[in-house]
């Protein structure tokens, strides 16, 4: 029997309820979903280490038997090939996400024509939620309850006002 495997790549710094909503949707479609955290991001220093992000994602996805958490370096298409994945899943919250996502999807297609990118929409209640805004709001003393899982709030509180 053919099993269809997908990769859901990202920074997940930290994982939000929007990410988890997307994971739940993708887990229903694919036989196996690998949530993959980029190790060598060029972005400004992350709030959480890759290991902390793996721990949080593992906790957040523990109820899904067909979801695993992994990390990768270098090109996404190389990791997808190593994993023998058929597709990449990315979330689109609003039209503003589309341009960047389309660019990445087409670049990945150029690098690996067999690998499809599938866009999924999170629930509308998460359409404004991003890891970057969650960090900003928290840093400035606002509540992020309901936007990220409780265990992420706890870890952010333990980190203090970074």
Shortest reach from residue 12's CB to ligand PNS, in Å: 7
User: Does 118 contact ligand PNS by CB under 6 A?
Assistant: no
- In the bound state with ligand PNS, the residue whose beta carbon lies nearer, of 106 and 157, is 106
User: Does 62 contact ligand PNS by CB under 6 A?
Assistant: no
Known catalytic membership, residue 43: yes
Instruction: Go through 111-144 and write b for each residue having 16 or more CB atoms within 10 A of its CB, e for each that does not.
Output: ebeebebeeeebeeebeebebeebbeebeeeeeb
Cα–Cα distance, 57 to 24 (Å, whole number): 12
Shortest reach from residue 49's CB to ligand PNS, in Å: 16
User: Does 18 contact ligand PNS by CB under 6 A?
Assistant: no
Q: Which single residue brings its beta carbon nearest to ligand PNS?
A: 10
Q: SS3 of 133, please? A: helix
Size of the site for ligand PNS (CB under 6 A): 9
Cα–Cα distance, 6 to 129 (Å, whole number): 23
Known catalytic membership, residue 19: yes
Shortest reach from residue 141's CB to ligand PNS, in Å: 25
- The angle at the Cα of 33, spanning 30 to 37, to the nearest 5 degrees, equals 150
Q: Which helix (H) or strand (E) holds 8?
A: strand 5-10
Cα–Cα distance, 97 to 100 (Å, whole number): 6
Which of the residues 53, 90, 131, 135 is marked catalytic? 131
Which of the residues 53, 86, 93, 135 is marked catalytic? 93
Q: Catalogue the active-site residues.
A: 19, 43, 93, 131
């Amino acid at each position: 029997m053919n099993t269809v495997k997908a990769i859901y790549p990202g920074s997940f710094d930290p994982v939000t309820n929007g990410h988890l909503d997307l994971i739940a949707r993708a887990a229903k479609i694919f036989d196996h979903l690998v949530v993959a955290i980029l190790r060598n991001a060029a972005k400004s220093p992350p709030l959480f280490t890759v290991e902390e992000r793996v721990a949080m994602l593992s906790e957040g996805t523990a109820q899904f038997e067909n979801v695993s958490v992994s990390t990768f370096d270098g090109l996404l298409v190389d990791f997808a090939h190593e994993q023998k994945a058929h597709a990449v899943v990315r979330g689109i919250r609003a039209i503003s996400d589309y341009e960047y996502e389309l660019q990445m999807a087409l670049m990945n297609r150029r690098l690996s024509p067999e690998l499809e990118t599938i866009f999924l929409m999170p629930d509308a209640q998460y359409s404004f939620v991003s890891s970057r805004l969650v960090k900003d709001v928290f840093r400035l003393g606002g509540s992020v309850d309901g936007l990220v899982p409780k265990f992420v709030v706890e870890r952010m509180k333990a980190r203090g006002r970074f």
